[in-house]
Chains A and B, each alone.
Chain A
């Protein structure tokens, strides 16, 4: 058992589940999507990214790339939220769908990342 593997695996999967939790629901209704959950998803995603830093292997590089994609998508989602709330002062259905679909993209990246992580674990002989 590898402590580093446990912690990093925990964060990778938590990033994905939180991301899914935020994404799940009617994409046109903002009440279905909790801001706290988005916040948590961003934080956990950032932590997961840091855990992927500095791994020189081929797999490590791909994992890092997927994580960076997820970060950018989630931060973009939060930025759209803040921008339409404070700058545009107009919170229409368009803003809501944009926020949710951006997080949906991040979810895909997170799923890829977790699949890669698990396949690597399965492949390795104990």
Chain B
């Protein structure tokens, strides 16, 4: 790549170089041939060196005067001619160099070169992000310093500028490039050993499919995280063997389903996404009759969820674009619309979901419904993050921001893989089980427990790993002791234990730990530190285990 710049420079500088060589040589030759007179009045001829010296400082406009002796008139006439010739040649050369620096293709090449170097110098594992937007920004900010680094490609220059202004720490290498271009993907390090995966969350499913195919061809080993929402594309992704497909509509549908049928499972999931572990009535979806407005991808996904939950519902096929064409506005609520809502049975329904592509339409539709039936539970789909305050002000019960859901679930997948597994496993359990877990968590830890992941190895749990290497048998229960007083329990909950491919959800406290086990633990910050002390410090561990 480096050569590219070199060749561009050389090719562009051909003409100026030739001009300089020719003007200089003509000037030098002339000065040598024209006779002069030295300080004692004797005729003399300039030597090659004298002439070269004089022309060099004349052409560059440094001008030390006439050397070695004062010039005669024939010499001066020649010099006055060559001044213009060489100086113009010199300026032309400098001008070419300056334009070269500003040259678009050269600058592109230089920025690519810099990008390539930055990617090569990434020591940590990294993900390649295709396209930059609010979701990606959110993910980068959340993942933070410790877990992964990112490389961003975007076709749009202003997006990349935006990213540069964001000043991420650690630095995020970014470049303007077509994301389906194989050369650029290679440059972004798709072949590098520490490249973990590619993240492609474009709105356009076809584009995601194209990218997934290219990436799969380029490197079979990497993880490909794509967004997909239409059944056809989801099927395609499945046949390609992609491990992780992000479908925001599916997530919404599942959430609604669990909220209706198993609120505690839903609560645990929401907690995993950072909400408090408190089941409030106003958060819960009501049982009763549902109206779903919008029968697009989201509407269909919601329908599936409702059908599975066995709830009575009615679909209202309203589409933002056709509505706008008919009424010249996306503000919902003239007499015809009101009649339509009444016809759908808004007064006897318990919940209305506005799931069209247009934010304004969703908002006004819910407002109207609320006027007709103040008790109705309102749910809105929000497409872009910018209008969040407007939705909040409208007192809508539940807002699904697709971008945010996408960011959260991708973040969990990348940075908290155990938590992601926990959610998947948890969904297989029933409501009773979830209720017990929620009670346990809130009793042991409190209303807003935090969670962390730890891998039992020398790096993260030094003392414990040493003990395990010696062949000691240690159970989870033995580790759950306070380091101030080993008779007391440490208020933490082991949520998940992962051993190779085996997964134990809420592992038995008598299970024996092994090296390289991965644990997901719920605890407050303080007790998280305590636990880390215990597994890392030899003396703490000894005390907690109780064998002095």
- Chains A and B belong together in one complex: yes
Residues of chain A whose beta carbon lies under 8 Å from any beta carbon of chain B: 35, 39, 43, 46-47, 50-51, 53-54, 56, 78, 81-82, 85-86
Complex A-B: 29 CB contacts under 8 Å: A35-B48, A43-B21, A43-B22, A43-B25, A46-B17, A47-B18, A47-B21, A47-B22, A50-B14, A50-B17, A50-B18, A50-B21, A51-B14, A53-B10, A53-B11, A53-B13, A53-B14, A53-B17, A54-B10, A54-B12, A54-B14, A56-B3, A56-B7, A78-B48, A82-B47, A82-B48, A85-B47, A85-B49, A86-B49
Nearest opposing residue in chain B for A49, CB measure: B17
Q: Are B10 and A39 in contact (CB under 8 A)?
A: no
Nearest opposing residue in chain A for B8, CB measure: A54
**Complex Cα–Cα for A86 and B12 (A):** 38
Secondary structure class of chain A's binding surface, majority of residues: helix
Q: Are A39 and B28 in contact (CB under 8 A)?
A: yes
**Complex Cα–Cα for A64 and B18 (A):** 15
B214 located at the interface, meaning its Cβ lies under 8 Å from any Cβ of chain A in the complex:
no
Give chain B residues whose Cβ lies under 8 Å from the Cβ of A86. Answer: 49
The 5 closest A-B pairs by CB, nearest first: A54-B11, A43-B25, A53-B10, A54-B10, A82-B49
Give chain A residues whose Cβ lies under 8 Å from the Cβ of B22. Answer: 43, 47
- Which residues B1-41 have CB closer than 8 A to chain A? 3, 7, 10-14, 17-18, 21-22, 25, 28-29
Nearest opposing residue in chain A for B47, CB measure: A85
**Complex Cα–Cα for A94 and B426 (A):** 93
Give chain A residues whose Cβ lies under 8 Å from the Cβ of B3. Answer: 56
**Complex Cα–Cα for A35 and B52 (A):** 13
**Complex Cα–Cα for A78 and B10 (A):** 26
**How big is chain B's contact interface, by range?**
10 to 19
**Complex Cα–Cα for A50 and B16 (A):** 10
Q: Return A71 CB to nearest CB of chain B, in Å.
A: 11
Q: Total A-B pairs in contact (CB under 8 Å)?
A: 38
**Complex Cα–Cα for A54 and B10 (A):** 5
Residues of chain B whose beta carbon lies under 8 Å from any beta carbon of chain A: 3, 7, 10-14, 17-18, 21-22, 25, 28-29, 47-49
**Complex Cα–Cα for A81 and B3 (A):** 36
Nearest opposing residue in chain A for B4, CB measure: A56
Q: Are A39 and B47 in contact (CB under 8 A)?
A: no
Given the contacts A47-B18, A50-B18, A39 and B25 also touching, CB distance less than 8 Å: yes
Q: Return B18 CB to nearest CB of chain A, in Å.
A: 5
Given the contacts A47-B21, A78-B48, A54 and B7 also touching, CB distance less than 8 Å: yes
Q: Return B17 CB to nearest CB of chain A, in Å.
A: 4
Q: Return B46 CB to nearest CB of chain A, in Å.
A: 12
Q: Return A68 CB to nearest CB of chain B, in Å.
A: 12
Q: Are A46 and B21 in contact (CB under 8 A)?
A: yes
**Complex Cα–Cα for A60 and B12 (A):** 16
Give chain A residues whose Cβ lies under 8 Å from the Cβ of B13. Answer: 53
**Complex Cα–Cα for A38 and B17 (A):** 20
**Complex Cα–Cα for A94 and B165 (A):** 66
**Complex Cα–Cα for A81 and B52 (A):** 14
Nearest opposing residue in chain A for B18, CB measure: A50
**Complex Cα–Cα for A47 and B10 (A):** 14
Give chain A residues whose Cβ lies under 8 Å from the Cβ of B49. Answer: 82, 85-86
Give chain A residues whose Cβ lies under 8 Å from the Cβ of B7. Answer: 54, 56
**Complex Cα–Cα for A46 and B10 (A):** 14
Give chain A residues whose Cβ lies under 8 Å from the Cβ of B29. Answer: 39
Q: Return A107 CB to nearest CB of chain B, in Å.
A: 20
Give chain B residues whose Cβ lies under 8 Å from the Cβ of A53. Answer: 10-11, 13-14, 17
